[in-house]
Every structure is written in structure tokens, then in C-alpha cells.
Amino acid sequence: MNYIIDLIKTIFPDTQTAIFFIILTLITLWLYKQLQTRISENEKNTIVKTDKAVEVYAELDSEIRRFLKNKSDDISSLDAKLIKSSPHLPTAILVDFQEWVDKFEEDTNIEQLTKLQREIREEIRRLKHSQVDSITYKSNRGLTEFIRVYYKTKLSSIVEPIFHTGVGIFILMIMLLIASVFATAQEITDKVLLISLFAAMIVSILILDIIVIEIIAKGRFVHTIKNWLIFVAFIILSIILVFVGPWFRGILLIVITFAYAFYASTFSIKNLGKNKKSTE
């Protein structure tokens, strides 16, 4: 028992330190609980939306197949299926489909309808691939795919709240640290450095959070050597600039962070920017 008391006294040498860590622990637990609830609800909503989208896409595909087979001049049934599926269809496919319907009486473009059917079937396959529950999912793609599915079904609801909670607490600690140093800084260049570093680190951490959890862990990262090299270079350069460089290195870090965010959104994320056409 004495060892435990000595350990507590070592960790918390005074009352202020003890209060600080108690408050920090309570904030951490509250933040984790809030994030876990929100992430769990988002996952459930995503599953419901995915199931509904697959259902209405399949109905629309069936109606297109029936229309092409019968070579009918009546598109009322097809139009009804389009209206039902429109909340779930990607904007590009919906716009093309609406244009085909509007021009149907003037030009029955069967080739365009067939192309739209292929795109709808591709969307069905994409959505089915995102379903990773034990009932609908089946794959023989090896260890990498097994790890992805295991993480998605068993670990994501635990790992993601922990990761986001760690990010939030880390940002809080950085804010407190920089605020305490800022209060004692005398030179204007030191204050500019602290403010710019704080802003840059917050933005960089949030972008890393998005890249790691929302993109890489969810299979939306375009896995090329170039993308991985730039991602690693961004992390290494950010860490170096935090500790080494001129007094305006915080501003440089902000510029580099936004430059990488632009590159990632354009080239490194599936279904965004130039990757949209190549990955659909």
C-alpha cells in the first residue's frame, strides 16, 4: 500500500498537478464517449443508406434491362424508377439520365442508355464491395483484404474514437503549451513563430487525421509510389519545421500543409479530382 501512495505522490507532486490530470482524464473520457457514439451512429446510417442504394440501383437496372429487351416506347415506368433512385445516384449519372429522358421523344439513344446501365452496375459493385458484414461479404483477395475487412468489422469502432480522442487531446496540450510560452515571449518574431506554429500544427494534425482515418483506413487512398512518397515527405518535413528553421517556419509549414492538402484532394483520393474518372 505504501508503494502505491509513494507512486501517486511521485506522479502528482502537488495539488495543482493532480487537479490538472484529473480534469484532463475526465475530458479524455468524455471526448472518447462522444466520438464513439457519433462514429457508431454514422456507421449504422451508412449501412442503411448503402443497403437502400443497392436496392434502388438494382430496381433501376432491372427496369432498364426490361426496357431494352422489349424495345418499348413508354418510359413512364423507367422514369418512375429514376425518380425513386435519384436521391442515391451520383450527380453525374443522374444528370446524364435526366438528359436522356428529356431527349427520348426526339432521339432514342439506346447506346447512351446502355452506357448508363453499365455505370449503374458499376455503382452497385462499388457499394457491394463496401459492405463488409458477414452476410453479404465474400472475398478471396488474400491477407490485405482480410485485414481491411477485420479492421472494418471488429476494430474501427474502437480504434477510430481512440485516434480522434488522441488528436483532440494533443491539440489541447499544444494550445496550453504554446499559450504558456507565448505569455513569456518578448520578441515579436518569437510571438509570430508561436502563433504560426500553433496554426500550422493544428491544420497539419487535422489533415493527417483525415488522411489516416477517413481515406487510408477506408480504402480511398490511391496507392501509388508517388503518392506514398509525397505523403511521407510531408510528414517528415512538417516534423522538421516544427523544431528547426527560421522564425517564419510556421508560415512555411502552413503553406506546405495547404499545398499537400490540395495535392491529396486532387491526386491521392479516389473519386475526387482527376482520380474520379479513373476509379469509378
Residue 48 above 60 pLDDT? yes
Buried b / exposed e over 267-277, threshold 16 CB at 10 Å, is bbbbebbebee
Residue 212 above 80 pLDDT? no
| Interatomic CA distance for residues 157 and 36, integer angstroms | 7
Residue 264 above 70 pLDDT? yes
Single-letter amino acid, residue 258: F
- The candidate with the shortest Cα–Cα distance to 31, out of 154, 171, 155, 199, is 171
**189-193 average pLDDT score:** 76
Residue 118 above 50 pLDDT? yes
- Higher model confidence: residue 188 or residue 35? 35
- Higher model confidence: residue 21 or residue 142? 21
- The candidate with the shortest Cα–Cα distance to 132, out of 145, 143, 118, is 145
Q: How would residue 86 be classed by pLDDT, with cut points 50, 70 and 90? A: confident
The single residue listed with the C-alpha cell 446502355 is: 114
What pLDDT, on a 0 to 100 scale, did the predictor assign at position 215? 65
Residue 280 above 60 pLDDT? no
Could you read off the pLDDT of 217-257 as tens digits, one per residue? 666 778 888 888 998 898 898 888 888 877 788 888 888 88
Asked if 256 and 234 touch (Cβ cutoff 8 Å), the reply is yes
**114-131 average pLDDT score:** 86
**92-97 average pLDDT score:** 87
Q: Considering just the CA atoms, what is the radius of gyration of the chain in Å?
A: 26
- Higher model confidence: residue 181 or residue 169? 169
What pLDDT, on a 0 to 100 scale, did the predictor assign at position 217? 60
Q: How would residue 3 be classed by pLDDT, with cut points 50, 70 and 90? A: low
- Higher model confidence: residue 168 or residue 280? 168
- The candidate with the shortest Cα–Cα distance to 43, out of 132, 167, 166, 163, is 132
